[in-house]
Amino acid sequence: MKGKVKDKEKGLVSLATLKLNTPELFSFDQTTEWMESILTELNAPLEEGDVLFSEEAPQIHLKCEITKKQNVKYGDIVVVKGDFSAKFITTCIQSGSPMMDRIDVAIRACYIDDVIKKKYELEDEVNIIVDDEEFDLFVYHNGKFDLYEVIREYAFINKNPYPVLGK
């Protein structure tokens, strides 16, 4: 469903393009401009003379199901469930050598309108319960939600801060 997520607008999606209570499947990789920018940011720059002993190339993938729902308390919400993975170049903290590292994480995000978040004084909340399930809480503005910022956040929160070659 790449047509609903514009590259030039990073990962912005309009709620108006989603049908109520109809899950839609989305799949993105490094061929999507905003996903490529996340992968580029994850990759540590290689110095001249560095040799990366890996047959794998850096990659990034997101497969998710996005559903717009009507919630009694919060109005229109958007639920994103999926899987995010990335293979990227980083630097071993012990040897300083370049190495490949990996992120594999489940995405469980729920967007509510920023006006509603303020109304219910949820500014300090990071999680929300919807349909008896817990989700990470995000907001949308002017009827658009941003996949790019959320996926970028998942990537950097789950990136190993102390990568060690061979582990």
In tens, the pLDDT along 74-97 reads 999 999 999 999 999 999 999 988
48-74 average pLDDT score: 85
Largest CA distance in the chain: 59
Residue-averaged pLDDT of the chain? 89
60-69 average pLDDT score: 97
pLDDT at 58 over 70: yes
Is the torsion defined by CA of 85, 87, 91, 92 positive or negative? positive
Q: How sure is the predictor about 2, in pLDDT bands with cuts at 50, 70 and 90?
A: very low
What does the pLDDT look like over 101-135, one tens digit per residue?
A: 999 999 999 999 999 888 878 888 899 999 899 99
Helix, strand or coil, per DSSP, at residue 73: coil
**Per-residue DSSP letter, 46:** P
pTM over 0.95: no
Token pair for residue 133? 């399930």
62-79 average pLDDT score: 95
Q: How sure is the predictor about 164, in pLDDT bands with cuts at 50, 70 and 90?
A: very high
High-pLDDT (> 90) share of the chain, %: 71
> Rounded distance, CA 148 to CA 134, Å?
21
Q: How sure is the predictor about 8, in pLDDT bands with cuts at 50, 70 and 90?
A: very low
pLDDT at 7 over 50: no
> Rounded distance, CA 165 to CA 151, Å?
26
CB 48 within 8 A of CB 11: no
CB 113 within 8 A of CB 74: yes
pLDDT of residue 153: 97
pLDDT of residue 4: 54
Token pair for residue 27? 């799949």
Token pair for residue 31? 């061929």
pLDDT at 48 over 70: no
